[in-house]
Amino acid sequence: MELSTRNIHTQGIVCRSDMQITLEDDINVPDTKPDIEQLVKTQGTVQITNISSNDGKVIIRGYLSFSLLYLTAEDIRPVHNMKGQIPFDETINMDGLAADKEVMCHFDLEDCQANLINSRKISVRAIVSLHCCQESGQEIAAGVDIISSEAARADMELLSSPDGLHKYFHQFAFTRLVSHKKDVFRIKDELSLPKGKPNIDTVLYYEMTPQNLQSRIVENGIRFLGDLQLFLLYIPENEERRLEYLETEFPFDGTVHCEDCSEDMISDIEILNTTRELEIRGDEDGENRILELDLNLNLRIKFYKDETFDYLEDAYSTACTLELTKEKITTTKLLMKNQSVVRVSDRIHISQNDDTILQICNATGNVQIDEQNIVENGIELEGVVDLDILYITENDDKPLATAKGTIPFTHTIEIKGIQPEDDYELQSTISQISVIMLDGQEIEAKIILNLCAFVFTHTRQDIITQIQEQPIDMERIQAMPGLVGFIAEKNGTLWNIAKEYNTTVESIMELNHLDSDHVKQGDRLLLLKQIDGI
C-alpha cells in the first residue's frame, strides 16, 4: 500500500516588530527666499528607498520630504514656499529573522510639523511608525488516500482499495495565498485652467488625492475606479499677483495587470505610499495654462483563495498492521473581509485672535487609530481624524491661514465569530472630506472613513505524512474475543470502536440493526472480530 498525497501551502508570520522613530532637523531658508515671518502649513511625505536584513536586524533607509507655506513681510508677495528633505537610516531588531526571505515594511506618518527658530531657520519634526514583518511558507504533503502498490505503479488511483483497508476522511478548509506582488497604479492626465482663471506664474502648493477609490478583480488584473481631487494654489501672471487657487476633480479608471487572478479570489490591496508630480506647460499660445498630473499609488497586492478538499484523517486494516506517521500543522482560514464606512462630523472654531475666514481653500486629514481591541463578534476601535484646513483671510498682509481640528470617533467592525487569538489586518483611509464655512469663526467638517479588516483564524490539526505496512499481529488478534458486548461511554461515532476491536463500521451497523454510525452514551452493541487476508 502507498499513501497518495496533496501538497498544502502553509503561511505564517515568522517574526514582526514595530518601532516609532522621530525625524528632526534644523533647516536654513535658501538664500533665494525671503525671511519667514509666520509659518502657515506643513506638508510631509515619507519614501522608503531600501530595506535590507542581516543577523536578526532590518535596516530601513529613506527620507522625509517636506513642503512649507509661509508668510513674509519682505516682499511684495506675502506668501512663499520652500522644500527640503530629511534622510533616515534605522535599524530594527527582529528575533528569528530569516536572511533569505523578504521583509515587508509598512509605515505611517503620524505627525509632521515645522516650528520657527528665527526668520532664517526652521525646525522640522516628524513622527513615523514603522511596522515590519516576515512571512514564511512551506509545502507539506498531506495524505488524501491510500492505494495499492499496483495502482500507484500504474498511476491509477481509482483502482479498488486493498483488502481489509478502512479509511476515514474529513474535509479540509483553508485559505491559500495564491500570489503576492508589489505594483504601481498610475493616474496620468492633463487639464487646462478654466477660462476665468489667470495664467500660472508660480505654484505655491498642491494636493492630489484619490477619493471614492474602488477596486475589483477582473480577468488577469485589478480594476481601479474613483475620482482624483486636485487643489492648486498659485501666484498668477497678472499685475495684482493676488493668490489664486483651483479646486477640481475628475474620474479615473484603470487596470493593474495581474496574471492568473480570477473573480473567485479575494484581493487584499494596501496603498504603501504615493508619489505625485505636477508640471505646468504652455498651451498653443505659449501661456502657462496646461497642468500635467501624475499620481502613482504604490501597492502591495495579495490574492487569496478559499479551498476545500477531503483528506485522510485516519486508517486501519483488518488484514495487516498499518502504522501511520502524523504531523501537526497550522492552517489559516480567512474568517471575514469586512469593509465599513464611518461618517464623522464636528464643528471647528477659529480662535478670536486669528484672522477671520474669508474663503475656505482646501482640507486634508489623517486617521489615527489609538485603541483597537477584539470584542465579542467584532473589533472595537477608538481614534481621531486630524484635520488641517487652509483658508483665505480678510487680512491682505496675511492672506493665508490654517485651522486645525481633531475629531474623535468610535466604531465596532462586525466580525462574527472572531476570537482573541485570531489575527487581523486593518486598513483605514479617508474617502471624502467636506468642509463648510458657517461664519467667519466656525467651520463644519464632515468626513467619510473607509475601514477594511481582514481576519484570519488558525487551526491546528494532524495530517498523515507516511504509512508503513506490517504483518498482522496474530498474538494480539488471538487474544481478542471473537464476540464482544460493548457499552458506549460517550457520544461519538463507530469508527474508533471498530478500529479498536478489529472490526468494521458496516459490520457493527449490520449486526446491531443500526441506521446511523453515531452512538450515544449507554448504547449497547455487539462487536464481531473480523480478520481478512488469511
The residue written with cell numbers 528575533 in the block is 95
Residue 146 belongs to a domain:
no
220 in the same domain as 279: yes
297 in the same domain as 231: yes
Residue 484 belongs to a domain:
yes
Q: State the pTM of this model.
A: 0.83
| Distance, first Cα to last Cα, the chain | 17
Residue 328 belongs to a domain:
no
Provide the 3-class DSSP secondary structure of residue 295. Answer: strand
pLDDT(149) > 90: no
Residue 534 belongs to a domain:
no
What is the Cα–Cα distance from 465 to 3, expressed in whole angstroms? Answer: 8
* Average pLDDT of the residues in 326-346: 92
Query: Of how many residues is the chain composed?
Result: 534
Residue 324 belongs to a domain:
no
380 in the same domain as 258: no
Return the pLDDT at 136: 78
DSSP string, 363-382: EEEEEEEEEEEEETTEEEEE
83 in the same domain as 112: yes
Return the pLDDT at 152: 58
Q: Are strands 288-317 and 423-439 parallel, antiparallel or unpaired?
A: unpaired
Residue 261 belongs to a domain:
yes
188 in the same domain as 71: no
Residue 254 belongs to a domain:
yes
301 in the same domain as 231: yes
Q: Which domain holds residue 495?
A: 477-528
Domain end position, chosen among 427, 460, 493: 460
CB 71 within 8 A of CB 78: yes
174 in the same domain as 116: no
Own/partner pairs, 372-377, CB within 8 angstroms, 24+ separation:
372/426, 374/418, 374/419, 374/420, 374/422, 374/424, 375/412, 377/414, 377/415, 377/416, 377/417, 377/418
| Element of type H or E holding 291 | strand 288-317
User: What pLDDT digit, counting tens, does each position of 365-412 carry?
Assistant: 999 999 999 999 999 999 999 999 999 998 888 899 999 999 999 999
Domain end position, chosen among 319, 348, 380: 319
Return the pLDDT at 153: 59
pLDDT(241) > 70: no
Residue 3 belongs to a domain:
no
- Mean of per-residue pLDDT scores for the chain: 90
What is the Cα–Cα distance from 336 to 62, expressed in whole angstroms? Answer: 35
347 in the same domain as 251: no
Indicate the number of domains in the chain: 4
Domain end position, chosen among 258, 284, 319: 319
User: What pLDDT digit, counting tens, does each position of 247-299 carry?
Assistant: 999 999 999 999 888 888 999 999 988 899 999 999 999 999 999 999 999 99
Q: Is 339 exposed, middle or buried (0-12, 13-18, 19+ CB in 10 A)?
A: exposed
88 in the same domain as 181: no
498 in the same domain as 417: no
